[in-house]
A and B are shown apart, each in its own frame.
Chain A
Amino acid sequence: MKAPAMLMVLLLAGTTLSGCLGEDLLPVEDCSTFVADTRSDDGVLRVLTYDIASLTPEFLEAFRNETGIEVELVRTGDAGAVLEQVLLYDGAPQVDLVLGLDGSYLPIAVARCLISEHGVSLAGVQTSILDASGDIGAHGVPFDHGWVCLNADSGAIDTMPTSLWNLTEPAYEGRVALPSPLSSSPGRAFFLATLEGLGDEAWTWWEAMLANDAIVTSGWSEAYEIHYSGGYGVWGEGHIGDAAVTVSYCHSPGVEAYYGGNATTSVPLALPGGVYHQIEYGAVLTGAANASAAEAFLAHLVSPEANAEMPYQNLMYSVLEGADLPEEEGYRHHSLVPTEAASTLGGMDVVALDLALDALALLLEA
């Protein structure tokens, strides 16, 4: 077949023209020399986010009435995809503001000088959240938070595990569903928790879990909806329900109860080394067309009226001082606030995180 061969040659020729885009692509280290390609101001505030539910039409309407600023949302898959989009812009952003990067993602963009420091007042935000944010607080405005931890189906387990190591025992063989830290953001948060909480033992634990036939899924939904027997997945098509334990939020059982008529068999487990304090941030991009409009948006997001909606609209805690989950329908009652948790990069830097994820990829592949 001559003709298709020609096509292949055409395709390959395009790629062989020059294999040398490389040199100017590597990230800079010192942000003072970083020059962004500022987006031209078209009078619209463009916000990059994943499908964050709290950005309701009412919320956007209220912001526009208050400030006169038009907002356009650019939505992408999940937190990982949001980060990757920011990295792809590489200092020539097509948006002004990014929403929804948590402490395990934001530092990567910060390290590449892609995020500017903000001037938003965080007066109303809980000090524990500012503490947990550490250095990232200068770049990111926290707007919601929650704790990632294990959930267990009390209907399927007699005695609840008290240590992560219990899950490596025969009783849990094939009964724990873990969303992959490589492709799921709660999975990644949980992985960071184990690295910080279990120290060197963490790798032994992951190996033991894999040897104990832990179910590793690509995302949270697959683990929670298809494999976990204690959640709303049991109502869905294609449900398997072979896992009695999975990774979710410490307040997921509360959400189950809230939507399920104040009843759930799901229980949060705050095991040592298995809890991550996830804080989601909004951040202004280096090279934003309108940084002050972006900051106004962030200020609106942490205003008492807007932020109080978080538990209802976004199924996360509000970051404001004195805020808690609502009492209605067992939302608060079935949720758990852990005392100890890992946060941001779990004590690592960006390079170490990259290496750890690579190592885990090898472990999962083997």
Chain B
Amino acid sequence: MQSPQRRWADAALIAPLAVLLLGPLAVAANRLWAVGGVDPATAALDLSPAGWRSAWSSIQLAFLASIGVVLLGTPVAFALAKQPARRRRWMTTAVALPFVTPSIVAAVAFLALMDVSGPIGSTLRTASATTLLGPGSIALLVAMVWFNLSLVTRMLTPALARTDPAYLEQLRLLPQGNSAWLRFRAWWWPVLGPALGAAAGLTFTFAFTSFAVVRWLAPEATTIELLLAEQGSGAGIPGYRTGLSRLVLGTAVVQGLALLVAAVVVNAMQRHHGARMLQTTTLHNGDAPASRQSTALAMSAVVFALTPLLAVLAASVRVRTPSGHRFGLDGWRRALSGDAGGTGLVDAFATSVGTAVWTVAIAMPVGWWCASAVLSAERADHRRRAQAIDLLAMAPLVVSSAMVGLGSLLGLLRFAPNLIASPVLLPMAHATLVLPVVVRVLLPAMRALPDDLEEQAATLGLGPWHRWSLVRLPMLRPAAVVAAGLALAFSLGEFGASWILVRSTGSTTLAVLVDAWLARPGFDATTRPAAMAVASVLGLLAAGVMLGVERWRDDRIGGGL
């Protein structure tokens, strides 16, 4: 049982966390309400045609991307699972690389791919010109599938690799398993369904809230996130474009609801999936020889994952000329000197790394505390309290980057305008956004710790500090390293909130610098290569962080992230 003091301590921490996470959003909503003269519910129901169009495009894109990820990801996961353990490990890592690739780099990567890769590029370009949601939407969908593919492989491959083939052999002999369809129903669907559902739900969430790829690959598509980010700057101003304040408020509510539904689905699916994983673990070590087709498929997935990133590097040294193109370091030189962009590559690098380190410094203790609080409430059988803290920490998943950025901006303007220019603003926003990931990684690891371990340590005479530093910390180190690594990579690549907030802070991160170079009129042929050069640095940085973290990762850490 928990002591009353402990309960007060929890409450004293929950309250500020709630204010910090939800306060800015509430104040922003209140301001939009006051300016637009319409409450959030009415604003959402009474959305203008432009608002509905953006909601509809968001849903379409996210839905198609989810289907694409499941259709492409499932065979790839099977193929990866059939590979021998060592090869499987590096291949899975390679396929997962896009997922930690900053979104703006993903956008640039597909622009580069269309530009430099000859046949693939021209196919993609032709396909993109024929429309679904406007020019570029095919490239956009491919990019979304590319980005989220590892959600499926990360969740399915471990389960598949551990499935003992003898099981299936036995199933074939049974009446419930004598046709492929029956085997699918009796075995594959129960085992894979929840994982696929969770992966599809997460893809829906990420695709729904993607900003950089939509902004640059499908310049004429308007999604909710794009509308919030690009037009949000004009919202919340009394007597100025009040219709816009209503539109922003209404679409934000619609987005929140859509993401809420996705979050509920993901949550339910992950719980099932977690249970299945326990049942299927350690049955089999999966070292049977891989078939040639499956190896070919797995290899193509690796190539698919890596090609766009290589295209960025290539495009950074490729300069267009009136008669074609030439190779040169002009783009790199321009990016380094920052002549036209103002901010040089080195300054932006320092800002990005500094912001990322601060993000980890804020998100790790808060996330650690959240996870411990959830766990101790669970163990004390306070299910409600456990759920409340868990949900609070998950709240940022239901709001997008643009909403956090706008919320911080409009919320702070009301109470602490001086903070707007403060360098802590960006790490705070990033920490908020990455908190769910940190908690999701730490919590299962904490749950897996035997609960009598600390009691035994206490019996042996260890004080609370030693119990923490000698028992808990070492056992949780792998999860902590993975969580910190993900937080670091996330902050480095975060684009939406940064894009909204750096306009107030005066410092530019690498992700925002890539965008600034892309947005510049391209009369000068070295402008695009300069964007590619900055994107190369950012992509390599994020990949480096991920590869550094990878050796700490175990299949059960990360909940698919």
Q: Is B322 an interface residue (CB 8 A)?
A: yes
| Min distance, Cβ A326 to any Cβ of chain B, angstroms | 14
6 more A-B contacts (CB under 8 A) besides A20-B34, A94-B417? A7-B395, A22-B238, A56-B342, A94-B418, A94-B421, A237-B121
In the complex formed, the residue of B with least CB distance to A15 is B29
Write the B320-341 contact mask toward A (1 if CB under 8 angstroms, else 0).
Answer: 1010000000000000011111
19 A–B contacts from the bound complex (CB under 8 Å): A1-B264, A2-B387, A3-B387, A4-B263, A6-B391, A7-B394, A13-B26, A15-B39, A17-B30, A19-B39, A51-B516, A73-B506, A90-B413, A226-B135, A236-B528, A237-B114, A238-B217, A259-B523, A357-B241
Q: How far is the CA of A289 from the CA of B388 in the complex (A)?
A: 45
B128 touching A238, Cβ below 8 Å: yes
| Min distance, Cβ A246 to any Cβ of chain B, angstroms | 13
List, in ascending order, chain A residues with CB within 8 A of B230's CB. 77, 183, 218
| Min distance, Cβ A365 to any Cβ of chain B, angstroms | 6
Q: How far is the CA of A57 from the CA of B268 in the complex (A)?
A: 54
Interface hit among B17-25, B96-104, B433-441: B17-25
List, in ascending order, chain B residues with CB within 8 A of A232's CB. 522-523, 525
The 5 closest A-B pairs by CB, nearest first: A14-B26, A76-B503, A237-B114, A25-B238, A21-B34
A74 touching B115, Cβ below 8 Å: no
Q: How far is the CA of A173 from the CA of B20 in the complex (A)?
A: 54
| Min distance, Cβ A100 to any Cβ of chain B, angstroms | 13
Interface residues of A (CB under 8 A from B): 1-4, 6-8, 10-15, 17-22, 25-27, 37, 40, 46, 51, 53, 55-57, 72-77, 80-81, 84-85, 87-90, 92, 94, 108, 183, 217-222, 224-226, 232-233, 235-238, 240, 255-256, 258-261, 263, 313, 315, 354, 357-358, 361, 365
Q: Which of B208-230 contact A (CB under 8 A)?
A: 217, 219-220, 222, 230
B39 touching A94, Cβ below 8 Å: no
Q: How far is the CA of A6 from the CA of B264 in the complex (A)?
A: 12
Q: How far is the CA of A40 from the CA of B49 in the complex (A)?
A: 44
Max count, chain A CB within 10 A of own CB: residue among B125, B234, B418: B234
| B233 contact from A6, A18, A73, A84, Cβ within 8 A | A84
Q: Is B558 an interface residue (CB 8 A)?
A: no
List, in ascending order, chain A residues with CB within 8 A of B222's CB. 218
A256 touching B322, Cβ below 8 Å: no
> Known contacts A15-B40, A76-B503: does B240 contact A87 (CB below 8 Å)?
yes
Max count, chain B CB within 10 A of own CB: residue among A13, A235, A261: A235
Q: Is B398 an interface residue (CB 8 A)?
A: yes
| B234 contact from A57, A74, A80, Cβ within 8 A | A80
Q: Which of B514-561 contact A (CB under 8 A)?
A: 516, 519-525, 528
Q: Is B303 an interface residue (CB 8 A)?
A: no
List, in ascending order, chain A residues with CB within 8 A of B417's CB. 37, 89, 92, 94
- The total of chain B residues at the interface (CB under 8 A) is 90
In the complex formed, the residue of B with least CB distance to A49 is B342
Q: How far is the CA of A263 from the CA of B341 in the complex (A)?
A: 26
> Known contacts A18-B30, A238-B114: does B236 contact A88 (CB below 8 Å)?
yes
Max count, chain B CB within 10 A of own CB: residue among A15, A55, A219: A15
A51 touching B233, Cβ below 8 Å: no
B339 touching A51, Cβ below 8 Å: no
Q: How far is the CA of A237 from the CA of B18 in the complex (A)?
A: 45
A55 touching B29, Cβ below 8 Å: no
A46 touching B391, Cβ below 8 Å: no
Max count, chain B CB within 10 A of own CB: residue among A2, A8, A85: A85
B25 touching A11, Cβ below 8 Å: yes
| Min distance, Cβ B271 to any Cβ of chain A, angstroms | 12
Q: How far is the CA of A23 from the CA of B545 in the complex (A)?
A: 50
B420 touching A22, Cβ below 8 Å: no
| Min distance, Cβ B388 to any Cβ of chain A, angstroms | 7
List, in ascending order, chain B residues with CB within 8 A of A81's CB. 233, 503
List, in ascending order, chain A residues with CB within 8 A of B421's CB. 46, 74, 94
> Known contacts A46-B506, A53-B520, A315-B523: does B111 contact A75 (CB below 8 Å)?
no
Q: How far is the CA of A211 from the CA of B325 in the complex (A)?
A: 40
| Min distance, Cβ A57 to any Cβ of chain B, angstroms | 7
In the complex formed, the residue of A with least CB distance to B50 is A365
B322 touching A365, Cβ below 8 Å: no
> Known contacts A7-B260, A14-B22, A236-B528: does B521 contact A315 (CB below 8 Å)?
yes
Q: Is B444 an interface residue (CB 8 A)?
A: no
Q: How far is the CA of A27 from the CA of B35 in the complex (A)?
A: 12
B256 touching A21, Cβ below 8 Å: no
List, in ascending order, chain B residues with CB within 8 A of A357's CB. 241
Q: How far is the CA of A327 from the CA of B267 in the complex (A)?
A: 65
In the complex formed, the residue of A with least CB distance to B217 is A238
Q: Is B239 an interface residue (CB 8 A)?
A: yes
Q: Is B428 an interface residue (CB 8 A)?
A: no
List, in ascending order, chain B residues with CB within 8 A of A92's CB. 417
List, in ascending order, chain B residues with CB within 8 A of A75's CB. 342-343, 502-503, 506, 508, 516
Q: How far is the CA of A81 from the CA of B144 in the complex (A)?
A: 28
Q: Is B504 an interface residue (CB 8 A)?
A: yes
Q: How far is the CA of A89 from the CA of B413 in the complex (A)?
A: 7
Q: Is B489 an interface residue (CB 8 A)?
A: no
In the complex formed, the residue of A with least CB distance to B18 is A10
Write the B90-129 contact mask toward A (1 if CB under 8 angstroms, else 0).
Answer: 0000000000000000000001101100000100010011
> Known contacts A1-B264, A51-B519, A76-B503: does B413 contact A88 (CB below 8 Å)?
yes
